């Protein structure tokens, strides 16, 4: 997920996080099985990357301090990493803006939450090598005057929105000529509701989110301009998604990278396809 947060906001939230967490502490500790616990933070509300569900169906993992379970691409990746490295896995559900502060404070070991590897984030946390590569797309409703758009210029004048604090909203939507950009939405589900209700002509997001949306909203159409001369202009860092760990935690960083190094782009895409196939339609 190509979402951003300012350094000032990070420091404010970090202070709050540390007050409630009792300060900076290591969270990797032994479980009842005697194995160390890998505490992984994510939103548990952003299909197909991660979501909340009421049962352990398909291999979902219990959410800490909750009766619910988490699943999705990020959970699948977390399970693979934990199993390979000999950890027990604990999923910690946090708001998006709390993810980096939790990693900074040590209240979680890492965040696997669709974070793009931006220079801004690299000033605060370390990142693994990418565990997914996601291109940027748009969604419109069936019958929209923009349904047959072949490039960004064909979206001229569209009323649009996307998710708050994302590259989609901050970088991509301003590239649409004469766009009527409405206030950003708090979440991806809210963004999709805005489109489905007809309040906007289009939303901008990434390919997995768009593919998942087509299952929940079959009346939507996906516009992919990749490979054309009229695509959204973004940097590689904005489409490379990594796992964040606390700066200087090279042991965990290297261990996770050792697992990711065994996977290919085809493996990533296969896992994402599996996640999309079993996502809850309500997400």
DSSP single-letter state for residue 117: -
Q: What is the C-alpha separation between 97 and 63, in angstroms, rounded?
A: 18
Q: Are 141 and 198 in contact (CB under 8 A)?
A: yes
Burial of residue 227, with CB atoms counted within 10 A of its CB: 0-12 exposed, 13-18 middle, 19 or more buried: exposed
What CATH architecture is 136-235? 3-Layer(aba) Sandwich (3.40)
Which residues are CB-neighbours of 57 under 8 A, at least 6 positions away?
Answer: 69, 71, 278
- Which residues of the chain, if any, have pLDDT below 70? 1-33, 281-283
Instruction: Determine how many CB atoms are found less than 10 A away from the CB of residue 178.
Output: 8
**Alpha helices, DSSP H, located in the chain:** 7-21, 73-85, 96-105, 119-122, 167, 188-196, 207-216, 250-260, 265-278
For residue 15, the model assigns a pLDDT of: 39
CATH topology of domain 7-133+239-278: D-Maltodextrin-Binding Protein; domain 2 (3.40.190)
Do 7-133+239-278 and 136-235 show the same overall fold? yes
For residue 26, the model assigns a pLDDT of: 44
Report field, pTM of the whole predicted structure over 0.85? no
For residue 120, the model assigns a pLDDT of: 85
User: 188-194 long-range contacts, Cβ below 8 Å, gap at least 24?
Assistant: 188/1, 188/46, 188/163, 189/45, 189/283, 190/163, 191/161, 191/162, 191/163, 192/139, 192/216, 192/217, 192/220, 194/161
For residue 116, the model assigns a pLDDT of: 85
Q: What are phi and psi of 106, to 5 degrees?
A: 85, 10
For residue 239, the model assigns a pLDDT of: 84
Domains of the chain, residue spans: 7-133+239-278, 136-235
């Amino acid at each position: 997920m190509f979402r951003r947060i300012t350094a000032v906001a990070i420091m404010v939230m970090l202070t709050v996080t540390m007050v409630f967490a009792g300060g900076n502490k290591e969270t990797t500790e032994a479980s009842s099985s005697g194995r160390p616990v890998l505490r992984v933070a994510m939103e548990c509300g952003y299909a197909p990357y991660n979501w909340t569900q009421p049962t352990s169906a398909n291999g979902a993992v219990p959410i800490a301090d909750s009766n619910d379970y988490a699943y999705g691409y990020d959970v699948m990746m977390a399970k693979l990493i934990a199993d390979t490295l000999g950890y027990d896995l604990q999923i910690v559900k946090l708001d998006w803006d709390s993810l980096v502060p939790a990693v900074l404070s040590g209240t979680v070991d890492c965040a696997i939450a669709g974070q793009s590897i931006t220079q801004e984030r690299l000033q605060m946390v370390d990142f693994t090598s990418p565990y997914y590569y996601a291109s940027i797309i748009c969604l419109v409703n069936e019958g929209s005057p923009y349904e047959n758009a072949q490039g960004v210029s064909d979206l001229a004048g569209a009323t649009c929105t996307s998710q708050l604090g994302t590259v989609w909203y901050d970088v991509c939507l301003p590239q649409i000529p004469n766009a009527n950009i409405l206030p950003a939405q708090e979440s991806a589900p809210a963004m999709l509701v805005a489109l489905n209700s007809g309040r906007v002509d289009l939303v901008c997001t990434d390919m997995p989110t768009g593919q998942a949306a087509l299952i929940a909203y079959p009346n939507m159409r996906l516009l992919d301009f990749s490979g054309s001369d009229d695509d959204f202009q973004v940097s590689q860092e904005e489409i490379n998604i990594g796992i964040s760990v606390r700066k200087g935690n090279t042991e965990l960083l290297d261990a996770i990278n050792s697992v990711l190094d065994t996977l290919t782009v085809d493996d990533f895409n296969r896992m994402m396809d599996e996640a999309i196939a079993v996502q809850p339609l309500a997400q």
